[in-house]
Amino acid sequence: MVDLSVSLAGVPLKNPIIPASGTFGYGREYGELYDLNILGSFSWKGTTALPRPGNPLPRIAETPSGMLNAVGLQNPGMDAVLSEEVPNIARLFQGPVIANVGGFSVDEYVENCRKLEDIDQVAILEVNISCPNVHAGGRNFGCDPAAAAEVTAAVKAAIRKPVFMKLTPNVSDIAEIARACADAGADGLCLINTLLGMRIDLKTRRPVLANRTGGLSGPAVFPVALRMVWDVYEAVDIPIIGCGGVSSAEDAAEMMLAGAAAVEVGAANLRDPYACKTIIEDLPAVCERLGAAHIADLTGAAHRR
């Protein structure tokens, strides 16, 4: 029998499959479809200090082999999540939860993370540094090594829980950003977030999205995500959650071979709400074909041949 268990910075997961933030909400809708306890974990929707209505419509556009979204971090705010969503998550899922945290200043990141320190079920904080730094002209924290390191160090100084920094691919050298986060004390990394893209309506000759640009996700980004996971695995010695275009158990295994210790599944959940369930069910057979009795042995194996 294949052992699907993995560990993320000391947090044990029954398997490496994690629904990605932004595609799984806080688990309510998916909990009506299947038992969420089959999951290794799940990363809840990116949560900011204050409620956010998100960007104006339209904010979703289909693309070949993927989709664009410009949702704009719509969420009910941290206090509402703590009072309403956290108790409901505990009823739906008994495993460790990953809390995706957004922020528009270093202080906001720190304050949001502090509020999660005493929530027992939140085992890992996934700090989304793809947010714009309002105190630095709007440039994303994750686009600048110094800014990424500043957020990492500030959050690590404030809390005891493992901190995974979620990295944007919209940079010239993601390994440089990864090293900055690792040097600042990050316990792990999650990559990649979405790639910046756009579509134009031929009839109106205007951008399809009201926001003009959006984040590209889905199978089209998988080769890019895979390459970035490979590069970051070579650059740092902390665990990586691989994310970007994963749609099958074979994709998950490939991501782990590139260096991921666990794998997040994003846009596939929107196309097929049972995607994570199917991937988990298919993983043992894939591992058997690869001769892996323990799935954790796949992590980084492609670097060792």
Overall residue count recorded for the chain in this entry: 305
Contact status, residue 277 vs residue 249, Cβ threshold 8 Å: no
- Which of 131, 143, 181, 190 is labelled catalytic? 131
Q: For this structure, is 287 an active site residue?
A: no
3-state DSSP of the chain: CCECCEEECCEEECCCEEECCCCCCCCHHHHCCCCHHHCCCCECCCECCCCECCCCCCCEEEECCEEEECCCCCECCHHHHHHHHHHHHHHHCCCCEEEEECCCCHHHHHHHHHHHCCCCCEEEEEEECCCECCCCCCCEHHHCHHHHHHHHHHHHHHCCCCEEEECCCCCCCHHHHHHHHHHCCCCEEEECCCEEECCEECCCCEECCCCCCEEEECHHHHHHHHHHHHHHHHHCCCCEEEECCCCCHHHHHHHHHHCCCEEEECHHHHHCCCHHHHHHHHHHHHHHHHCCCEHHHHCCHHHCC
Q: How many other C-beta atoms lie within 10 A of the C-beta of residue 202?
A: 8
* Strands 66-69, 122-128: pairing kind: unpaired
CA separation for the pair 152, 145 (Å, rounded)? 10
Active site residues: 131
